[in-house]
Amino acid sequence: MNSKDQKVIISTFEKEVCEGLTAFPKYLSSKYFYDEVGDELFQQIMALPEYYLTRAEYEIFETHKTEIVQSFDQDKEGFDLIELGAGDGKKTKVLLKELLNHKYDFAYKPIDISENAIDGLVKNLNHEMKEVLVQGQIGEYFEVLDRLKHISDRKKVIMVLGSNIGNLLHPRAIQFLKKLCNSMNSKDLVFMGFDQKKHPQKVLDAYNDKSGVTAAFNKNVLTRINKELRGNFDLDKFIHWEVYDPESGTAKSYLVSTEKQKVDIDDLSLEVHFEAWESIHTEISQKYDDDIVKWLAKESGLEIVKSFSDQNNYYKDYLLRK
Ligand code: AVI
C-alpha cells in the first residue's frame, strides 16, 4: 500500500475522546470508565457503605424472589433469562438459585461489554451452580439489542439491573427501551432496576464517597486516555465533583481542572486547553419515580406489570411487558 492509499483507522474511543474534549463544554462518556481497573473500582463502589443501590436491589431479590421468578414464567413453559450488563452477577445468583430450587426450565444468558466480567461470571457459575445452563456473550447494550432476536428462540425475560438505564439521558433511554421492545415477542418480559428519587444528600453521598473510590472511578477515564492514547493528564490537577438536581432527578459527575493547563494526547495529535475550574462532564445517574418510569415505558411501547421495592423505597425493580 503506498502512502496515498493508507487509511487511518480511528476507534470509537479515539473519535469520542476527540469530540468530547474539543467540545464546549467538554464531556466524556462514562462507558469509558470500564476496563480491568474500572471494573475492579466498580466492584469496590458496590460494597461502599454510601452506595445503597446494590444492597437495596439485593434486599428486593432476597425478600421477593419467589414472586419475582413466578412472574417470569407463570405457565412454567420454559424461558431464556437474558441479562444485559451482567457484571459479576452476584445479585442474579439469588434468582438463579430460586429458579433451580423450583425446577424452572431456563437458560441464563448474561451479556456484558467487559470480556473480563463475562469470563469471570461464567467460570464462577460453572463452579458454584453447575446445574445452570449458562451462555455468556460480550457486547455493548445497543449493539446487543440487534442480536437479541437471534440469541433466543423461546420466551425471553430480559433483565437490566443496577439502575444501569440511569446512565442514559431520557431520550437515549427511550431509544434503548424502544429497541428492546422491538426485539420482544408478545410473551416476553423486561425486568429492570430503577433507582428512585430520595433525600438529595443520600444520592450525593452515594456518588461522592468518603474513601474516594468514586473519584478514582471517574478519573479512570483520564487514566485510560493516558494509557491507550498516549495522553499526559496529571490526575492530581483534576477533582471529582458531583451535583444532584432533585427536580429532574439527575445526578451528574464532573472532573474539574484545578488550574489553567494544557494536556497533550499524542495518538490524537491533540492539545487540550483547560481554564482554571473548567469541567469535563463524565456521567449522569438518573433517579426515577413511578410517573417517570410509566412515561418512559409508554413512550417506548411498554407497560408496567408490577414493581418490587426495598423497605426504604430507595430502589425499585419493574416488570414490563409489550
Ligand atoms: C453502573 N451505574 C448504574 C452506576 C451508577 O450508579 O450510575 C455507575 C456509578 N457511577 C458512580 N458510581 C457508580
Per residue of the chain (322 residues), what is the pLDDT tens digit? Answer: 444 555 677 899 999 999 999 999 999 999 999 888 998 999 999 999 999 999 999 999 999 999 999 999 998 999 999 999 888 888 999 999 999 999 999 999 999 888 888 899 999 999 999 999 999 988 887 788 778 777 777 999 999 999 999 999 999 999 999 999 999 999 999 999 999 999 999 999 999 999 999 999 999 999 999 999 999 999 999 999 999 999 999 999 999 999 999 999 999 999 999 999 999 999 999 999 999 999 999 999 999 999 999 999 999 999 999 9
Backbone angles phi, psi at 263, to 5 degrees: -120, 135
From 20, 41, 38, select the one nearest 265 (Cα to Cα). 20
Amino acid at 267: D
Q: Are 62 and 94 in contact (CB under 8 A)?
A: yes
Residue 146: predicted pLDDT: 78
CA of 186 to the centre of ligand 1 (A): 31
Nine-digit cell string for 12: 470509537
Residue 7: predicted pLDDT: 61
Residue 195 CA: nearest ligand 1 atom is: 6
CA of 20 to the centre of ligand 1 (A): 20
Residue nearest to atom 6 of ligand 1 (CA): 285
Dihedral angle, C-alpha 109, 94, 140, 189, nearest 10 °:
70
Handedness of CA 300, 302, 308, 312 (dihedral sign): positive
SS3 305: strand
Residue 167 CA: nearest ligand 1 atom is: 7
Q: Is the pTM of this model over 0.80?
A: yes
Residue 5: predicted pLDDT: 53
Rounded Cα distance between 154 and 157, Å, is 10
Residues with CB under 6 A from ligand 1: 45, 53, 162-164, 166-167, 207, 214, 217, 283, 285
Rounded Cα distance between 69 and 320, Å, is 14
Residue nearest to atom 7 of ligand 1 (CA): 285
Q: Are 204 and 198 in contact (CB under 8 A)?
A: no
CA of 155 to the centre of ligand 1 (A): 30
CA of 7 to the centre of ligand 1 (A): 37
Residue with cell 452515594: 206
231-236 contacts at long range (C-beta below 8 A, 24 or more positions apart): 231/263, 231/264, 231/265, 231/266, 231/267, 232/263, 232/264, 232/265, 233/263, 234/261, 234/263
From 235, 248, 239, 243, select the one nearest 289 (Cα to Cα). 248
Residue nearest to atom 1 of ligand 1 (CA): 164
CA of 285 to the centre of ligand 1 (A): 6
Residue 144: predicted pLDDT: 82
From 181, 177, 184, 128, select the one nearest 155 (Cα to Cα). 184
* Continuous segment of H or E residues that includes residue 203: helix 200-206
Residue 206 CA: nearest ligand 1 atom is: 12
Nine-digit cell string for 149: 432476536
Residue nearest to atom 4 of ligand 1 (CA): 164
| 161 HSE (CA, 13 A, CB side) | 27
From 107, 111, 155, select the one nearest 131 (Cα to Cα). 107
CA of 46 to the centre of ligand 1 (A): 9
Residue nearest to atom 5 of ligand 1 (CA): 285
